[in-house]
Structure 1
């Protein structure tokens, strides 16, 4: 309607008064939330977690459903048209804006489960570099810096070293040794990889039959932060553990070389 009407006055719901027993005073209605303390008059209120917490719950256990849900938010107006095509177009627009080379790049979904998706190590490397440099600290890091009146602590390199970069800290961390099926620890899908090597690896895995990938960050022997992306494709019967072992050796070689 071009002329919206007015909603009916809000009337708080009160459960019926429980009947009283013989010789007893009628019991008071059981009100879940006192009317005077109700801040809203809606049907329900849902408050989401912080973006960093949602990212961690998505990236660490590699939750494909949550990844698709995050992509779906790009379809929401304003800016979105409610379609998968529109959401993927917004994703491409962001990648173009931050300087990612889109040559040969094809986005088909949010989780990477589609074999129609095409990425390059160079594209991932550019994305990782930009996400390292963006000044998006975790809430704890931001509060600590403001309390100490030291804005320099929010510089990218300092954020990385102090584990304060919100995106990077949402990634799995290698070698923590946690129970992977639990999917509730810091290590996530990297918990059992590169154990005992004393390496600082924070990265995202990618797995399909015959396909394995690892992309993220590692601290080199010199203390420098290194971004890397290893994409491996082969026949569907290629042993995934073999591919992962090669990736782990590549990461170790990078640390020794830099």
Structure 2
């Protein structure tokens, strides 16, 4: 028994060490060896560091991996990927070792991140690997619900106006022309990826789904959020609505978001930490 335990621990450590060599996954804080894994997928224009506060708050009881898309931060020189399927392919290639590592894991995707996470979960199933123990879809309508959005075709001022409407970018960044010019290519690219994505109603993942949404989010109505029930084999999707919350409700309700995650992942964290 001891030999088996040591072998499993060694395998988990090997997988964790490989994160430092992965361009797609970031690991910010150490966690308990048997801690469940939470894989976090950023929004359009977002980066892995958006989840640094969550990683800090959840460690060591929950081990957070944050996805880093190319074309931003330490990957700023890499070519952008403008479609969701390819993004999911690449994340899956790096994450599959963890899916088969014996620890339970969950996916958390905010906005575009929920769509990329959904496609990544489908690839796990296609490969015969375990499904997430829980799928958190944050501020994103169901994959089969589409809108004729064309934000990626707007001029720079039009995209900046969209960011202001969603309040997802620091006002200091929005007012800094140099920083915005650097960020706009990845933002436009991500909008193209999510606005051109399509999925059928019958495509389902084999895990329970929790949808988190603000009741004033202009990108996701309650009806569009509830349509996630069409994309899980586990029956009706669970919906948690945050009153007065917009698209980035999670920065207004940080403790509540953490509670939603920890209560459904079986972790008991009561230290007053927050998401932001």
Check whether TM > 0.5. no
Structure in which a larger fraction of residues adopt helix: 2
Q: Which has the larger radius of gyration?
A: 1
Give the TM-score taking structure 1 as reference length: 0.27
Give the TM-score taking structure 2 as reference length: 0.25
